[in-house]
Each structure stands twice: as C-alpha cells, then as structure tokens.
Amino acid sequence: MQRHADRVRPKDVHTDRLFLTTRRSRKSGVLEAADKRTTEIMCKSAAVRAGIDPKRVWPHVFRHSYCTYLLLQNVLTAKVMPLLGHSSMGVVMQVYNQLRPGDAMDDVIRALASN
C-alpha cells in the first residue's frame, strides 16, 4: 500500500483516499476517490494476479483484516473506531470482541494471574 501511495499516486491529489479514479473530474480537474464498484474490481483483479480465488476477496475483507491487526497489536478500541468510521465503540466490540478462539481464555488466565 505504501509503495502504491509513493510511486503511483499523483502528487496533485486533493483527497486522502488511497485509491483514485483514473480520470480527472470535468468540473474540478482533480482526481477523485474511486467509487465502490471500481474498488471491488481492483481487489478482484489483484486477487487473480496473486493466485487467490477472487470470490473470497472484497474491499471489506481488507477493512476487517486491518481492524483485526490493529486490535491484536493492542491498539485501543477507541482509537480504531474512528479509523473505521464507526460512531459507537459497541459496534467494534461486538464484531471484533473475540478475535481468536484462544483470546478469551488468555484474558481470563492473565486476569487470574494478576490477583
């Protein structure tokens, strides 16, 4: 992703979105963020090139993986929440509360050991 941002992304972009359209807007003359369908096509194409079944790859999978990675790195839920665009910490906790089957047991053992 960083390589894409450094090498491919034009320098005169007025958005912080990573993936952009390939054409400039007729009204403003600037590149705009890619829409949902364009992003889906990009993911499917990348999956095919990587030898991954494209039926298993969607932009939301990357979003979920990113959140899971951050939480496993002990980034606070309150800091992850705005990155995902959630307005409620409950949503993040509900979806990602049990990241791995052993996580709950690890937490219980840690809590018991600290007493």
Condensed to tens digits (0 to 9), the pLDDT of residues 57-67 reads: 888 888 888 88
Burial class (CB in 10 A: 0-12, 13-18, 19+), 67: buried
| Domain annotation covers residue 2 | no
How many CA atoms, within 13 angstroms, populate the side-chain half-sphere of residue 115? Answer: 5
Q: What is the mean pLDDT of residues 51-72?
A: 84
| Domain annotation covers residue 48 | no
pLDDT band, very low/low/confident/very high, at 39 (cuts 50, 70, 90): confident
Number of domains in the chain: 1
Q: What CA–CA distance (Å, rounded) separates 3 from 45? A: 18
Closest C-alpha to 53, from 61, 1, 20: 61
* Mean pLDDT, rounded, of the chain: 78
| Domain annotation covers residue 71 | yes
Tell me the pLDDT tens digit for each residue of 75-97: 888 888 888 777 777 777 777 76
Q: pTM of the full predicted structure?
A: 0.56
7, β-bridge pairs: none
| Domain annotation covers residue 43 | no
Q: What is the mean pLDDT of residues 8-26?
A: 77
